[in-house]
Amino acid sequence: GAVVSQHPSWVICKSGTSVKIECRSLDFQATTMFWYRQFPKQSLMLMATSNEGSKATYEQGVEKDKFLINHASLTLSTLTVTSAHPEDSSFYICSATGTGGSYEQYFGPGTRLTVT
Amino acid sequence: GDSVTQMEGPVTLSEEAFLTINCTYTATGYPSLFWYVQYPGEGLQLLLKATKADDKGSNKGFEATYRKETTSFHLEKGSVQVSDSAVYFCALSANTGGFKTIFGAGTRLFVKA
């Protein structure tokens, strides 16, 4: 149980275009989802926290107009990288917590974004 | 604020060697503690967890004990295998942060045959 999927697993796009990444909880309802960014050989950097039906809370230094997050249902959150540039190339990982009050997060497999 | 510090890598061991990866934390309140593992090109997988002081988490031969007095959660395995080569992240999560998880920098482990 507690499976989180991401789609796509990898994407290549041209500079200036927008890319949408989906994060789904497959067998549980996710009240809270998190989006992380991971640079090569580095730790995860939390970008934002999203709760179903409300606006995402962004970490300091993360541009909310560039990284649009929507958490429209208890099983789906999306991250849209708008007007992507090569420096946005990274590994994006989502995670979700369930409704039971557990602190455990369930992580998606990640999406590798390459902007050319 | 809350933070996690873990030993820098990379750590290189021979197969069947003993592994210790140190992890200490700073937190207000009573966090849950986790070890996650990331294999090359993949996302994170929960390896083990402990939710209160003196709890021992264990999985796949790995163990870690929640030590409140030393604010530590060191990861150990008695005999590593080549397949254990990965990056290991120590992490904490507490409701004071809205269930946000704080990660350590990660420790890369290489196991040689």
Whole-number pLDDT of residue B98: 57
Taking every pair of C-alpha atoms in chain B, what is the biggest distance, in angstroms?
A: 44
Residue A17 corresponds to which amino acid? Answer: T
Under-70 pLDDT residues of chain B: 95-99
Whole-number pLDDT of residue B60: 95
Q: Are B93 and B32 in contact (CB under 8 A)?
A: yes
Nearest CA in chain A to B4: A43
Taking every pair of C-alpha atoms in chain A, what is the biggest distance, in angstroms?
A: 42
Nearest CA in chain A to B31: A103
Q: Are B5 and B102 in contact (CB under 8 A)?
A: no
Q: How large is the average pLDDT for residues A103-112?
A: 85
Q: Does B62 touch chain A (CB under 8 A)?
A: no
Q: Does B110 touch chain A (CB under 8 A)?
A: no
DSSP helix/strand/coil, B82: helix
Whole-number pLDDT of residue A103: 61
- Within 8 A by CB and 6+ apart from B82, the residues are B15, B111, B112, B113
Judged by CB atoms closer than 8 Å, whether chains meet at A93 and B100 is answered as no
Whole-number pLDDT of residue A32: 87
Judged by CB atoms closer than 8 Å, whether chains meet at B44 and A46 is answered as no
Q: A51 falls in which pLDDT band (50, 70, 90)?
A: confident
- Among A10, A43, A112, the strongest candidate for a mutation testing the B interface, having the largest count of B CBs within 10 A, is A43
Q: Does B31 touch chain A (CB under 8 A)?
A: yes
Distance from CA of A14 to the nearest CA of B (A): 22
